[in-house]
Structure 1
Amino acid sequence: MLEVAKLDAFYGQSHILRGIDFQVAAGESVALLGRNGAGKSTFLKALLNGGPQARGRISFLGQHLTREQLHQRARLGMALVPEDRRIFPKLTVEENIEIGGRAAPTGATPHSINDVVAMLPMCGPLLKRLGFQLSGGQQQMVAIARGIVSRPRLLMLDEPAEGLAPVIVDELADAINRLRQTEGLSLIVTEQNIDFARETTDRLYLLDVGEVVFSGSWPEFDARPDLVDRYLAL
């Protein structure tokens, strides 16, 4: 579904990503681990042409993306739930979710609000609440709801567990796994929380200072305890 080869990304003169190779198959969930500043968010934004200047090859659903702008990539079926969630504070939850439907891929009909609530039941009691009235965990659920309402083919979650209480993290992992089963989504999950990433993904890449230093399965990662010490320990 997604194939990335020799991807470099820049902010001005700052060279953030260096020679990234990355693949996601249809229906697969892949984690991208790394410390703060490793380049995880930059990678997701580069896929969407959402900020950094990118060089290299990005292919999505067999189409080589070159000059497509962010909105055009969204129309192809790519959706990002950003790290800071970006909930509109003065809109209701229902209105926040409905806005996401405008990015539906060409030829696709967005999910209804009822569909979204069936997939993410935590959003049901919140529909008439304003964005600024939500807790961090509620904001994250609404941000994911806004991401899936457009029926994306690839959903990218940037640090979804950050700052959430452990019980909310568990509920979020369950919700993501239900979405995988019901929607057949492909996922990229960037995380520092290894346990959460393990629960919601099939395999992983490890990023350090803009370079991939490991890629493989979770058992292969577990066989290398040095990786946590070198690249993930605070």
Structure 2
Amino acid sequence: MTEIVQMKSLCVYAQLTRVYLYCTASHSPSRTRLSFVRKAGRSIITGASQSKGEAPGPGRAARVSLSLSCWPPPPGVVLQNLLMCMVCFYSLYYTVVGLCIGLLRVHEVNSLLAPFDYTTQPSWQNPKYLVGVISTEVTYVLGGLVFAWIVEEWVWDYAITVTLLHVAMTVAVMSDFPSTEHWWIALGSGLVMMIFGGQLLAYKLFRSNFVYPAELQNF
């Protein structure tokens, strides 16, 4: 009897695996893919549970679908999400820089180099410095909210990656490694706000997608 139950469980896993791979290959959005896997998981688990004399219930199906949905995404999906995050990040950056230049009436700022310029003398009386600080912090706050919509619960991962790429691009554009403390402080504080704000929004919007290890142990 135990061997029969184990064989049925393996069949369930095999069917759910095929469903997940089919959805992944179809390049459907992650939220749609997760919903489809859950529905398929419920139907498969219901049949398996009834054959074992168990109450069907949605709990076991949800745990199985969550365990499948937490698989690492394909490299192509990761690169696509990273490209989208980079485009959104710099689009927000240049938009905020343009607004700050217009509102503060600053004319000596090079708007193209503003996201990478760390040589400005730090002073709250310096409009050029204010443009740099405000644009950096606002971009990171708004960027975290946008990242949450793009990558859902993986905001912290993409936020760190985008920041590292931004540092690399700063070195390439300025032909020097940034050594000013105020630039690193602004960058670090912006990254913290991006992670906390983005993760909070992702939790509010997609809390059903989060995987809790304690829920998977009983499957």
TM-score (norm 2): 0.27
Greater share of strand residues, 1 or 2? 1
Higher relative CO (Cα under 8 Å, sequence separation at least 6) belongs to 1
More helix by share: 2
